[in-house]
Structure 1
Amino acid sequence: MEIKKSLFDNLQNFFGFDNFKGEQEAIITNIIQKKDTFVIMPTGGGKSICYQLPALMSEGTAIVISPLIALMKNQVDQLRGFGGTESIAHFLNSSLNKSEIAKVKHDVLSGETKLLYVAPESLSKQENIDFLRLITISFVAVDEAHCISEWGHDFRPEYRKIRQVISNIGDQIPIIALTATATPKVQQDIIKNLQMTDSTLFKSSFNRHNLYYEVRPKRNVVKEIIRFIKSHSGKSGIVYCLSRKKVEEISEALKLNGIKALPYHAGLDPKTRADTQDKFLMEDVDVIVATIAFGMGIDKPDVRYVIHHDIPKSMEGYYQETGRAGRDGGEGVCVAFYSEKDIDKLAKFMKDKPVSEREIGTQILKEVIDYAESAVCRRKQILHYFGENFDEAGCGSMCDNCRAERSHFDAAEKLKTTLIMIRELGEKFDDLHLLNILMGVDTSQVSAYQHNKLPYFGSGKADGLLFWKSLLRQALLNNYLSKDIDNYGLLRLTKSGSGFIDNPHFLKFVMNRELGSMDDDFDDPDQQPAGALDTELFKMLKDLCKRMGVEKNLPAYVIFSDPSLEEMCIHYPISIEELKQIQGVGAGKALKFGAPFVKLISKYVEEKEIDRPLDLIIKSAANKSALKVSIIQNIDRHIALEDIASSKGISYEDILREVESIVNSGTKLNLNYYIDEMIDEDRQDEAFDYFRSSEVDSIDIALKELGSDDYTREELQLMRIKFLSELGN
C-alpha cells in the first residue's frame, strides 16, 4: 500500500499524470522490488516512464543504455524540464568534451544524478567501467533492446556485450529491457543474451487501433505523395525513403510544389539534423523526408501520416516507423508504396553479405512481401508477425484490405491436400519450394530431392501461383502452419493443422492482390499524365491566345504554346500558382499573360461543374532544375552554347532544346553575344520579321518559307529563341 501511494504521488508530482497507462504500475513496482523485468510495449505506450519513475524513487543512479545520441538528449532535456535541475539526468557519450565529462562524473558521484544515459559503445570503455564501479547503481535499463538480436531490425553488435559489461561492474544489478517491437524469436534472443531467464515479462498488445494501414502499387509515386500531402494540408507527416539520394529528391519535389518539407539523413551534419528535428517539433515544417535514421525517440504526438516511398526492409521497421503516427490516439494514416523493383534492389543489397546474414535478411524481407501482396486484414498480419492472434472483425475497416471488395475461395479441400503434402515431405521445406512443386517448376533443389517425380508436381498449375500464395499465407495466419524461423523458414504443421487433416471443415480464404507487378513505370516528374483533353475548353483557350496576340501585336503561340494549352485542358488550373505548374508556363509567363486564362478556366469549371483533379503536374526536381540554372548562369557569362553543351556532357541539339524550354517558361535570355557571331544582321532581321508575322510555331515551315539554302535548322531555332525571349517574356 505504501509503495502504491508513493508511486502515485511521484507520478503526479514529477510527471503531472493522475493515472498510469496499461501495465506501467505493475512494471515499475517490479523494478522497485529489484526484479529483472522485460517490457514489450508499442511506440506511444509510455515505455520511458517505466524506468524513469523507479529511477527517481530508488537509491543510487539508474544506467540507461540507449542507441542514439539524439534520443538521449531528447530524454535528458525532458527530465530536466520535469525535475527542475540540470544534474538530475545526464548522458555520457562521444559528443561530450573533457570538461563536460568531468561535470557529469562529479554530479553522479555526489548522488545528484538519478539517470545516466550511455551508448553501448561508451559503456564498454574501461575508464567508464572503472567509474561506474564507484557508484551505487539502482538498476540498468536497456532501451531499444531488439538491437541485441540479428533478427531485430536495428541489430547493433555492441548490444551483444551489454551483459558482460554489467557483470564486470557489479553483481546482482537488476535489469529492465524495453522494446517497441519484438517477434517471439527476438524475445528469445534478448532473454538469452541478457541472461534474464527469471525476468517478469510484461507484453502489451501491439494493436494500434487508431492507425489506418494501406499499401499502394508504386505508380506516379511522387505525384501520389504530393497529392496525399496536399489533401492533408497543415498536418504533420513523415515520408520514409531507403536512400539518401531519394530523400533529397523527394524533399526537393515537395518544396517545389509549395509544401514545407526538409530532408533528414545520416549524411547531413549533426547541427542540420538537430535544427531539422526542432523545426518539425515546433511545426515550422510540416513534412520530414527521411531515411530510417529519423524518428527514434522523436516525441511528437500529432504526426498524422507516415508514408513509405519504398517498402521497408522488415516488418519490425515498418511497425516502428508507422508507430510514429497518431501517438496521441488521434488520426494516423500509414501508406506504403510497393513494387517488385524495390524488392529486387533490397535483395541485391544482401548479395555481398555473409551467408547466415543473407539467410536471415531474406526471410525478414519475405515477410514484408507477403504482407504487401496479401489481401488479408493488414492489422491481423502485423499482429500475427508479433505473435498475437487477432480477429479481423475488430479492425473496423481501418485498413485498405478490409475496406476493399475481395474475392474469396473455398480453401478446405486444397488446404487439406497441402497439409498432407507438407507432412509427407517431413516438414523440411519452405513455402518457395512447396510452390515450385505445386506449379511444376523444376528447380535444381526440386530435382535434387526428386520432387519432380511426386504426384503433387505440377498439380496446382491450373489454380495459378496467386491462389497457392494466398492459401499458404492464410494457412500461416490462421495457425494451421507455423514457420520455423531458426531453420530457414521451414513450414511445420501445428496442432490445428494436424487436426484439420483428420477433421476438415468448411473454410473460406481471400485471394491475394496482384500488387507485385505494378512497378513504378511512370515515376517521371516531368512526364505529362494521361488524361482526356477537353476539346471545348481547348478551342476557347486558343481563341483567347489569338485575341491577346492581336492586342499585344504578337503571334498567338508566343502567349502560350499548344502543349501548354492542352495541359490546361487536362488539369484546369484556377489560380496563378496552379498555372505555374503547367509545363512551358513558369512564373514569368504566368504573371505576364496568366490572369485572363485563369479567369476563363475558373468560370468554365464552375459552369460545367467539373470535378478538378488535384494532381497537377509536378515541378521537376533538383537534378533537372539544376541543369537549367547552370545554363542560365553560363549564358549570363556569355559562354558559347557549344562550350556549355560540352561541359554538361550533352549535344548541341540538347542544349538548344533546354534553352527553348527555359524561354518557353517565361525566362528572358540575352543570346545576342552568340547569335551575332553566328548569323549576319540582315538574315537576323528577316527571320525576326518572319516569326513576328507567322501564325504557326513550326521550324519545318519556317525552313521551307525562308529557304534551307539561306538558313540552317539550328539558326532558325536560335532566332525563334531570340524572338520569344524579347517579345514574349
Structure 2
Amino acid sequence: MIELTLQKYFGFRTFRPKQRQIIEAVNSGANTLGVLPTGSGKSLCFQIPGLQARGVTLVISPLISLMKDQVENLKQTGVAAEFLNSTLKKKDEARIMREGLEGRYKFLYVAPERFNNETFREFVRKLDIPLVAFDEAHCISKWGHDFRPSYQDVIPTINALIPDAAFVALTATATEEVQENIQELLDIKDENVVLSSIKRDNLHLSVNKTYQRDQFILSYIQEREDASGIIYAATRAEVEKISAYLADHDINNVIYHGGLSKKERDSNQHAFLTGGVPVVIATNAFGMGINKPDIRFIIHHNLPGDLESYYQEIGRAGRDGKVSECILLSSQRDVNLHQFFIDRSNGSEQHKDHMRSKLDRMIQYNRTSKCLMSFMVKYFDADEYVTACGHCGNCLSGERTYNMKEEAAAVLELMRHTGTTLTKEHIIQVLRGERTENIVLNRLHESPHFGSMSSYLTGEIHHILDELILNGHIHHQEQQLHLVDKSCEVLEEKRDIYTVPFRKQFKEKVSISTASSPNEMLYQKLEAKRAALAKKRGLEPGSIFTDATLKDFAKKMPLSKQEMIKIEGVGNYKLKHYCPHFLKIIRQHKENPDARRMGEKKEIPT
C-alpha cells in the first residue's frame, strides 16, 4: 500500500533506509521521532502517512522559504497543499482557511508563531487533523543548535487544540541529549525512535590549515570551472569581502545574508538554484530547505560554533549521490569570536557552558588527525559502530607514517585475554601498570599484560584506542570496548595500521605517580557532591561540571584554584561558585592514607 502511494505521487519504487520504518510507526498512530541524514527524504516520512490518512496533516516548519518550496513541490506531484505565513494577503489567508474547512487540501504548513493568532486557533479546532509533523525538529530542543522557543512553546497549545493527533518529528541533526529532549516533550517512546547513521559516503571531508584562505578559495574554484558550490563565512562583512575578491578575479558569484533586501535575497538564491550563477557566498542564513542536487563543494571560510551546524550546512552538498567536497578553513580568531559571543550572551550559565562544550567538540574536529567522518558519526551517536571512511583528508594524509600494529595488538590481546568488556580507563591503567582501586578490585593487575606498555603516556594510549575505534577495529558502546570481526585482522595477521607519529621522545626519567586515569572512588565522591549541588540550586548536574571535567578532577587531583582553572570546563564563574566544594573533596581524599596507595611510584620515561 505505501509503495503504491510512493510510486503514484513521487515516482519512486523503493524506500531509502529507515523511511518505511518511520512511516509504518506513524501509520500505527504512534508518536514518532525520525533522525535521518541530510538529503535522505525526511519529508516523505510525513507526506506518505498524510496522503493515506483522513483530513489534513499540519506541518510545523521553521522558515517561510522552506514552506514555499515544499508546498510547490507537493503541488507539482498532484498533491493539494497550502501554507499560511506573513507573506500572504488577508484575502488569501481567508481563502486558504475556507478551503481547508471544505477539505480542499491534504497538507497545511505553518510556523509555530501562527498559533498566537486566535482566528487561526479557532480554524484549527474545526479541522480534522490526525497528524502533526514537526519538520527540522531539533528546533524543539533547548539543546538543539537552532533552538526556537516558539517550537517548544506551541506543543501544549497543539495538545489542547487537537488532543487526538499523532506527532512525527524529523531532523538530521540530533545528538543523544536532543533526541531525549524531543522524546520527553512530544511523549515519544523509545521503541518509536528511528535512527539512521549520519554517515554519507559521497561527502569527502577535509580540514585545510592554510593561512591564505581567500587565495585557497580562489584557486580551488578556478580549478573547477562551472562547479556549483557554497562558501560560508561568519559575518556579512566577510561575505562581501570574499565576493568582491572573487569578482575581481572573474569568478561569477552572488551573496546571501540578512542585510540584503528580501528581493535581493530571493533573486540571488534563484540565480544559484537554477544554475545561472555557480557560486554563492553566504552567512548561515542561507541553506535550510535548499534542495539543489548538484552542489559539488561547500567551503567554510570560518569555524562554525558546533558540529550540528556544520553537518547541517555540509549536508546540502551532493544530494544527487555524487562525490562532493566539504572543506573547513579556520583561524584562532574564529575561536576567540565564538568564545566572546558566548561570554557576552544573555543565556544562563548552564546554557553558556553547553555552548562552550559544543565549541570544544568543533575545535576537536578541526584538530583531530583521525577519520573525520567517523569522528562526526561518533559525535551524533556515541554507540554507533564506525569504520574509517578512507577518503577524508585525514585518512588520505601523507603524515600517517607511524605503524602502530604492535601497540594495537597489545591492546587487543589484553581485551581477548580478559574475556570481558573493559572501559578505556581500565585498558590504560592495566597497560601502564597502575595498581588503582578499581584495577585491584577487578583483579586486572594479575593479567600477564599488566604494565606491558608502562613507558607509554596516558594520552598516547588514548590516541591508540581512538584510532582503533574510529578505524573499526574496536567497537565503543555504552562506555565499554568490544572486540569485533576486524579485531582478528590485527590479532591474527598483525596487519599494518598507520597513524600520525604520536610517541614522545624523552632524555631523562623522573619519578611520578602512574595513577593518571580517573580514580573511581574519588570520582564517585565528586559525582555525589555535584548531585547535591545540582539539587540545592535547581540545576541539571551536567550544568555544574560535565562527566569529562569530573574525570579530569579525579585524574589530576588539583589542590588549588590555580590548578583547577587549567582543566577544560572550568571558567571564572565556576571557579568562584563551584570549585571550592570540589577542592574540599579532593583534599580530603588525598589526606586519606588509603587514597595515597592508589598509585605506585615508578620510574617511567618522561
- Relative to the length of structure 1, the TM-score reads 0.58
Verify: 1:80 aligned to 2:72, yes or no. Answer: no
- Rounded Cα–Cα distance in structure 1 between residues aligned with 2:379 and 2:256: 29
Match of 1:362 in 2: 356
Q: Deviations over 1:3-50 (max 9, x none)?
A: xxx322221111111111112222222222222111000101110111
Match of 2:481 in 1: none
Verify: 1:230 aligned to 2:347, yes or no. Answer: no
Verify: 1:221 aligned to 2:318, yes or no. Answer: no
**8 A Cα contact 2:61 2:136, kept in partner:** yes
Which amino acid in structure 1 is aligned with residue 371 of structure 2? C
Match of 2:319 in 1: 327
Verify: 1:158 aligned to 2:275, yes or no. Answer: no
CA shift, 1:403, in A, is 3.1
Q: Deviations over 1:388-409 (max 9, x none)?
A: 5566644123333443423657
Q: Deviations over 1:449-494 (max 9, x none)?
A: xxx9xxxx9xxxxxxxxxxx9xx9xxxxxxxxxxxxxx99x9xxxx
Match of 2:563 in 1: 446
Verify: 1:342 aligned to 2:334, yes or no. Answer: yes
Verify: 1:385 aligned to 2:379, yes or no. Answer: yes
Which amino acid in structure 2 is aligned with residue 71 of structure 1? L
**8 A Cα contact 1:213 1:398, kept in partner:** yes
Verify: 1:50 aligned to 2:42, yes or no. Answer: no
SS at match of 1:333: strand
- May I ask how many residue pairs the two structures share in their alignment? 448
CA shift, 1:133, in A, is 0.4
- Rounded Cα–Cα distance in structure 1 between residues aligned with 2:387 and 2:238: 38
Structure 1 unmatched runs, 5+: 1-5, 458-468, 473-486, 491-501, 503-729
Match of 2:491 in 1: none
Give the 3 Å change call, closer, same or farther, for CA 383–447 of structure 1 in structure 2: closer
SS at match of 1:176: strand
Which amino acid in structure 2 is aligned with residue 387 of structure 1? D
Match of 1:145 in 2: 137
- With 54-63 and 402-411 compared, the bigger mean Cα shift is at 402-411
Verify: 1:301 aligned to 2:293, yes or no. Answer: yes
Match of 1:426 in 2: 523
**8 A Cα contact 1:24 1:50, kept in partner:** yes
- Give the alignment of 1:488-567 within 5 angstroms: none
- With 61-70 and 151-160 compared, the bigger mean Cα shift is at 151-160
CA shift, 1:69, in A, is 0.4
Q: Deviations over 1:478-537 (max 9, x none)?
A: xxxxxxxxx99x9xxxxxxxxxxx9xxxxxxxxxxxxxxxxxxxxxxxxxxxxxxxxxxx
Q: Deviations over 1:294-337 (max 9, x none)?
A: 11111111111110000111110011111111111101101001
Match of 2:278 in 1: 286
Match of 2:54 in 1: 59
**8 A Cα contact 1:437 1:446, kept in partner:** no
- Relative to the length of structure 2, the TM-score reads 0.69
Task: Please point out which of 9, 13, 17 is paired with 1:22.
Answer: 17
- Rounded Cα–Cα distance in structure 2 between residues aligned with 1:243 and 1:439: 40
Task: Please point out which of 159, 164, 174 is paired with 2:166.
Answer: 174
- With 50-59 and 309-318 compared, the bigger mean Cα shift is at 50-59
- Rounded Cα–Cα distance in structure 2 between residues aligned with 1:442 and 1:332: 50
- Rounded Cα–Cα distance in structure 2 between residues aligned with 1:154 and 1:401: 31
Q: Deviations over 1:592-651 (max 9, x none)?
A: xxxxxxxxxxxxxxxxxxxxxxxxxxxxxxxxxxxxxxxxxxxxxxxxxxxxxxxxxxxx
**8 A Cα contact 2:518 2:555, kept in partner:** no
SS at match of 1:19: coil
Which amino acid in structure 2 is aligned with residue 323 of structure 1? G
- Give the alignment of 1:391-410 within 5 angstroms: 393-406=387-400
- Rounded Cα–Cα distance in structure 2 between residues aligned with 1:242 and 1:190: 29
**8 A Cα contact 1:383 1:390, kept in partner:** yes
Give the 3 Å change call, closer, same or farther, for CA 140–286 of structure 1 in structure 2: same
Q: Deviations over 1:42-69 (max 9, x none)?
A: 1011101111122122110000001000
Match of 1:10 in 2: 5
Which amino acid in structure 2 is aligned with residue 103 of structure 1? R
Give the 3 Å change call, closer, same or farther, for CA 385–435 of structure 1 in structure 2: same
Give the 3 Å change call, closer, same or farther, for CA 419–172 of structure 1 in structure 2: farther
- Rounded Cα–Cα distance in structure 2 between residues aligned with 1:14 and 1:402: 43
Task: Please point out which of 366, 372, 375 is paired with 2:369.
Answer: 375
Verify: 1:239 aligned to 2:231, yes or no. Answer: yes
CA shift, 1:425, in A, is 3.8
- Rounded Cα–Cα distance in structure 2 between residues aligned with 1:264 and 1:296: 13
**8 A Cα contact 1:124 1:165, kept in partner:** no
CA shift, 1:422, in A, is 4.5
- Rounded Cα–Cα distance in structure 1 between residues aligned with 2:559 and 2:211: 33
SS at match of 1:283: coil
SS at match of 2:181: helix
- Rounded Cα–Cα distance in structure 2 between residues aligned with 1:406 and 1:111: 63
Give the 3 Å change call, closer, same or farther, for CA 22–433 of structure 1 in structure 2: closer
Q: Deviations over 1:338-359 (max 9, x none)?
A: 2222101110011122322211
Answer with 1 or 2: which has the greater Rg: 1
Over the aligned positions, Cα root-mean-square deviation in angstroms equals 2.9
